[in-house]
Structure 1
Amino acid sequence: MSKRRFHSLIALALTALWGVGVYVGHATGHLRFLDRLEAPLTDLRTLVRGVKTPPDLVTIVAIDDTVVKRGGHFPLARSDLARVVEAIAKFEPKLIAIDLLLVDRGSAGDDELLAKSLAARPTVLAAAAIFPEAIEAVDAGNQDALASLPQAERFLLPLPAFADHADVGIVNVATGSPLSIPMLFRTRDKVELSFPLRVATRALDKPLTVAPDHLSIGDHTVATDAGYALPITYYGPRRTIRTVSAQAVFDGTLDRKAIQNRVVVIGAAVAGGGDFFPTPFDSLMPGVEVISTAITHLMAGDGILHDRKVRITEAIMVIMLPMLLVALLAWRRSAIGLIAATAVFLAWAALNVFAFTHGVWLNAATTLAATVPPVAIFSAVQLWAGGRRTQYFAARSRLLAQFQAPAVQEWLAQDPDFLLKPVRQNAAIVFIDLSGFTSLSEDLDPDELRDLLKELHALVDREASACGGTITGFLGDGAMILFGLPRQAPDDAARAVECCARLYQMVERWIALLPREIGDRIGFKIGAHFGTIVASRLGGRSHAHITATGDTVNVASRLMEVAAQHGASLALSDILLNEAGRSRGALAEGRLTGPLQTQIRGRTGELTVWFWRSAPQATQAIAEPDTVN
């Protein structure tokens, strides 16, 4: 297994463990902050879904600012509340639910009047559960579903005078933007129904059955979340559920059609009363409308689903989505992997929104908490490792660049297949070699010898690059320079001639500056020719180099011998000079002699050769051609 694959598998395993930890931590109540993150995400999906028309099952009679201005105070006097209840009862509602805590005694007459009013129609009163400051987390392993409910210290019930004539339900709602409402509450020795559930069971007039993952009201099943919480989704802004002011009772304008055969919920909607909640459509929605939303869901069965099956799907997503994203980033450590991972993430987001708008609530915060950290960490590690790899390869590239001409490097970068197939073309070839170097090597210290060669190679490289030549290789104390790669140019021959003249002058000056015991023992020779070559890559799989072969290369090399035989340091073929146009600019600072008809070792026929020597003064003209005998 490769090192990269092993690291990817380790990253996937750690990602899976993180996902499991996040899901279990949230399911057992140890990551409550995720609920605060889920609230705005749920609000966003609700806004995407838009306003819905609620079933016409519930009417809210609001004790609002108009009523308070009339009566002069809040809470409403018990006698006024009794009057409201009596007026509603005359229009034959299905049920009257009072979302007010009637726990304090009023005047005896007013309390008696309200008690009589409550007895006129089926009524449900609100109670409250009092919890300790620290609530223990739900024990997910407890086999008794009811025992897993958070335990309240006690219930704050309505006065017996009222409770004797009505049913009671617990009205507690979570602070902030409520995403769900508990359906069951318990103390040490008692379980009580929530206010919405008590209202729904009385309105439907069917027996209630509590199952591990749902509630049944007769044959009407309501799926619940963990801990018997009912997920709610708001229909729209305040007053989306039919709402009438209680002032209509006192004005005598209450509409029978708004009351008859409906559940009527009486509750406070007084500005500054404190019973308001932020919701997606409205920053201040009265608590009575939040409760009425839950009642409607229970009766109509149109709530959002977050039952056991949905939570299992959620768990799979929490584990699999981050693993899939990490796998994609590991699979293609490039833009392709990033695009694929982004596409998968967007597909998940679209699926989440689609499910929500169709009544299935997949918790987004938990999935994000399981996904973002491992993906971010893995991406950061990838970027860091990529930076390290980039630095490594850049260093290698700089190192390898020293072994290849810049023009060839650039061409190979543009075309990796450059010269995989041999190319036959015309080119100019220049060879340079030190004479006397072999005997000098026997006496010179190896370090001094190395420094000497390093200086020579640097000089040759500088002059060849200045003239646009390509060094195809250093041959110990010499080098081969090619003009015509990576592609042919009309001035290849002219630049080769210029390079020969510059090399002659620079090497002559370099030798003159060497210590006498070294400079007096060495010289140099240069040969140059123009003609047809075969440019190609030579070598095996592990190593290849670009070079040129053919008769032109051999002749250029042999011309160094011809120069030495005739006491010269530079020999140029007549073919090269003709191709170069015998440019005075390149050879002006010296004397050209020739032509010489000479035999080239190992080759049949003769070749016309010219010799060039650097003149003592820069103004010396080029001599007229002489015939060398």
Structure 2
Amino acid sequence: MRRPPLQTLIALVLTAVWGAGLGIAHLRGDIPFIDGAEATLTNLRNVLGGSRQPPDVVTIVAIDDEASRQAGHYPLPRATLAKVIDAIAALKPKAIGLDMLLVDPGAEADDAALAQSLRQTNAVLAVAGIFPESRQRVADDNKEPLTRIPSALQFLEPQQRFAQAAANGVVNVQTDKTGTPRFVPMLFRSGERIEPSFSLRVASAATGEAATVISDHIKLGDRVVHTDTGYLMPLSFYGPRGTIRTIGASAALTGQLPEEAIRDHIVVIGATVTGGGDVFPTPFDPVLPGVEVISTSITHLIAGDGLVRDRNARLIDLGFATGLPVVLVGLLAWRRNTIGLIVALCVVLAWLSININAFKHGIWLSAAVPIAAAMPPALLFGAAQLWLGRKQARHFAQQSELLQRIQAPGLAEHLARDPGFLAEPVRQEAAVVFIDLNGFTGLSEAIGPTAVRELLNGFYDLVDEEVTACGGAITSFMGDGAMILFGLPQPKDDDAANAACCCIHLADRMRGWFGTLPDTIASRIGFKIGAHFGTVVASRLGVHSRQQITATGDTVNVASRLMEVAARSNAEIAFSNDLLQSAGRDSEPYTEGKLDGPIEASLRGRAGSLAVWLWRSRA
């Protein structure tokens, strides 16, 4: 049975509304209850993609344990930091970024030396934003793009002498629920003041190109920087720590900096010292130094190899969030069997392949949003299908039980396996048996309808049990009689023998049943049985909405008339000679009574006579 079209349409509409709602919410920004799943799935896609070689753009000069040991303590004295900067500047880098906060004053001489070193090179200093919560969310409810950028309570800026000697940029990154740095905001706000990020300022200083803010992206010179909502640039990590070339600051202090790693490169100075605290978990490394996170974002800006997650990518997510669940629910409504599940699985695998390949090629399509859009409708619809399927199964079981009551069990089972059974008439050999109650019409007038019903039910149960045991099929109950066929659903060699055996067992059961009835009833009724073997036409009779399996032909008429022969001969059963020849007259059942014949008997409505055998019980 197919699901009613209206019910399917309602399910599809509700599914589309749910998916579109999630997609639109995702289009306006990240969805809190989905963020954790998206973070995990993004890390998984990063790992599946594997580590890769970063473009030769940035070199990290790390203030590591060795540099701290040489300097005598950490943080480095600012005079020592000035020496590191001078050594780097001598090799002509494109720009130097200091991923460290210089907010507190130091020794006057040391601060003066550092300021002098900064003035003599193209340097950018770090500014830190303090936010009211650990993770900034961006609303898309204002048409003015700049109102969507992360808003800080205040900025922690370098000492004024350092700020005047170099450019400044905000160094904060945005982490997801797993603590992984997922975005680097390109712009920050504090009150009416807007500041560029450290990464954007370093890239601009290195290229000599100004950054331009457009309504939905940023341009660095002629190059487009694809950003997400709120001018967030997604991060795509290259690998574990050290994947971006890292040189210890002690090499600068000892004059051992490799020129090829510094000249025409962007150099980022940052701390990797043990216990420094500036580390982040990433898909490739649980403690990736913050300076490498920043260096990754700078590399993305210069090389253009980062992830693209902009409004267009989110529009694609909206399409998948709406379309995927609708397709899955449609497939489940179309096919509820293995084929439907396989096709649905193929659709999911196709979407998964698109998603992973897009990520591999630098396009970040959401994995969690389509899953969240598809799973609840598919599971609810599937559960509803299971419930309806069980309900239908119960309905079919009840119909089958009713069919078993109306048709013989063998015929009902055969019809279930072969719905076309006897759709066309079939000529075949079969044994036909009729049984009828004598005197029933007069009795029914005397005992009333309730007692008649109980009497007939007892008669029907008795006949059904014996016919089923002998392998016959009751084609119909006709008031106080029944027509029985031996030869359906397929003719067998022992059909005649089974029919003869059934007749004698029925006679025995009928006598026993009469003995259980009140004398007022048993004394007024009797029974007669007629049985014949020959050619019948088995078919379905009736219209399309109501059909009955039966047999027609002269063999059926003869079997029916043989009951009259039995009645007028004071016998219980009248067998045709044709049936006994096919069944054999020497079998054991006949010994239970007296078999007389053959006699020539005339049949009502039929010319000539027929050889008949009469059977009476010895009782």
Question: TM-score, with normalisation over the residues of structure 1?
Answer: 0.95
SS in 2 for 1:42: helix
Is 1:286 aligned to 2:257, yes or no?
A: no
* Aligned residue among 423, 428, 445 for 1:442: 445
Residue in structure 1 matched with residue 40 of structure 2 by the alignment: 40
CA contact (8 A) 1:28 1:137 kept: no
Deviates more, 1:530-539 or 1:49-58: 49-58
The one-letter code of the counterpart of 1:17 is V
The one-letter code of the counterpart of 1:123 is A
Residue in structure 1 matched with residue 92 of structure 2 by the alignment: 92
Residue in structure 1 matched with residue 55 of structure 2 by the alignment: 55
CA contact (8 A) 1:595 1:609 kept: yes
Q: Check 1:97–1:10 CA distance in 2 against 1; reply closer, same or farther (3 A cut).
A: same
Is 1:389 aligned to 2:420, yes or no?
A: no
Deviates more, 1:233-242 or 1:180-189: 233-242
Deviates more, 1:39-48 or 1:228-237: 39-48
1:73 CA displacement? 3.7
Residue in structure 1 matched with residue 7 of structure 2 by the alignment: 7
Distance 1:545 1:270 in 2: 92
SS in 1 for 2:462: helix
Q: Deviations over 1:438-460 (max 9, x none)?
A: 10011112111100000000000
CA contact (8 A) 1:594 1:609 kept: yes
The one-letter code of the counterpart of 1:158 is P
Is 1:214 aligned to 2:224, yes or no?
A: no
* Aligned residue among 368, 372, 383 for 1:380: 383
Q: Check 1:578–1:430 CA distance in 2 against 1; reply closer, same or farther (3 A cut).
A: same
Residue in structure 2 matched with residue 623 of structure 1 by the alignment: none
1:583 CA displacement? 4.1
Residue in structure 1 matched with residue 419 of structure 2 by the alignment: 416
Residue in structure 1 matched with residue 473 of structure 2 by the alignment: 470
SS in 2 for 1:582: coil
Is 1:243 aligned to 2:243, yes or no?
A: no
Residue in structure 1 matched with residue 489 of structure 2 by the alignment: 486
Distance 1:595 1:550 in 2: 24
CA contact (8 A) 1:129 1:152 kept: yes
Distance 1:102 1:118 in 2: 12
SS in 1 for 2:329: helix
CA contact (8 A) 2:593 2:618 kept: yes
Deviates more, 1:334-343 or 1:121-130: 334-343
Deviates more, 1:494-503 or 1:56-65: 56-65
1:134 CA displacement? 8.2
Q: Give runs of ≥4 in structure 1 deviating > 6 Å.
A: none
Q: Deviations over 1:521-577 (max 9, x none)?
A: 000000111111111111101101111111111111111000011111111111111
The one-letter code of the counterpart of 2:196 is L
The one-letter code of the counterpart of 2:265 is R
Distance 2:269 2:10 in 1: 59
1:143 CA displacement? 1.7
Residue in structure 2 matched with residue 113 of structure 1 by the alignment: 113
Distance 2:393 2:58 in 1: 67
Structure 1 residues 455-534: aligned runs within 5 Å: 455-534=458-537
- How many positions carry a matched residue from both structures? 615
**Which residues of structure 1 form unaligned runs of 5+?**
617-629
Residue in structure 2 matched with residue 621 of structure 1 by the alignment: none
SS in 2 for 1:75: coil
SS in 1 for 2:76: coil
Is 1:167 aligned to 2:167, yes or no?
A: yes
Deviates more, 1:450-459 or 1:580-589: 580-589
CA contact (8 A) 1:589 1:614 kept: yes
**Which residues of structure 2 form unaligned runs of 5+?**
none
Is 1:64 aligned to 2:67, yes or no?
A: no
CA contact (8 A) 1:26 1:32 kept: no
The one-letter code of the counterpart of 2:218 is L
The one-letter code of the counterpart of 1:84 is V
Distance 2:223 2:3 in 1: 58
Residue in structure 2 matched with residue 627 of structure 1 by the alignment: none
CA contact (8 A) 1:276 1:286 kept: yes
SS in 2 for 1:101: coil
CA contact (8 A) 1:135 1:150 kept: no
CA contact (8 A) 1:314 1:362 kept: yes
Q: Deviations over 1:420-465 (max 9, x none)?
A: 1111111111110000001001111211110000000000000000
Residue in structure 2 matched with residue 624 of structure 1 by the alignment: none
Distance 2:94 2:134 in 1: 39
1:339 CA displacement? 2.3
Distance 1:193 1:407 in 2: 85
Residue in structure 1 matched with residue 609 of structure 2 by the alignment: 606
1:72 CA displacement? 5.0
* Aligned residue among 436, 446, 450 for 1:433: 436
1:33 CA displacement? 3.3
CA contact (8 A) 1:45 1:356 kept: yes
Distance 1:498 1:299 in 2: 98
Distance 1:550 1:443 in 2: 36
Residue in structure 2 matched with residue 348 of structure 1 by the alignment: 351
Distance 2:38 2:334 in 1: 31
SS in 1 for 2:277: coil
The one-letter code of the counterpart of 1:338 is L
Distance 2:165 2:577 in 1: 127
Distance 1:399 1:10 in 2: 34
Is 1:226 aligned to 2:201, yes or no?
A: no
Is 1:23 aligned to 2:26, yes or no?
A: no
The one-letter code of the counterpart of 1:107 is A
Is 1:324 aligned to 2:314, yes or no?
A: no
CA contact (8 A) 2:153 2:190 kept: yes
Is 1:274 aligned to 2:277, yes or no?
A: yes
1:294 CA displacement? 0.7
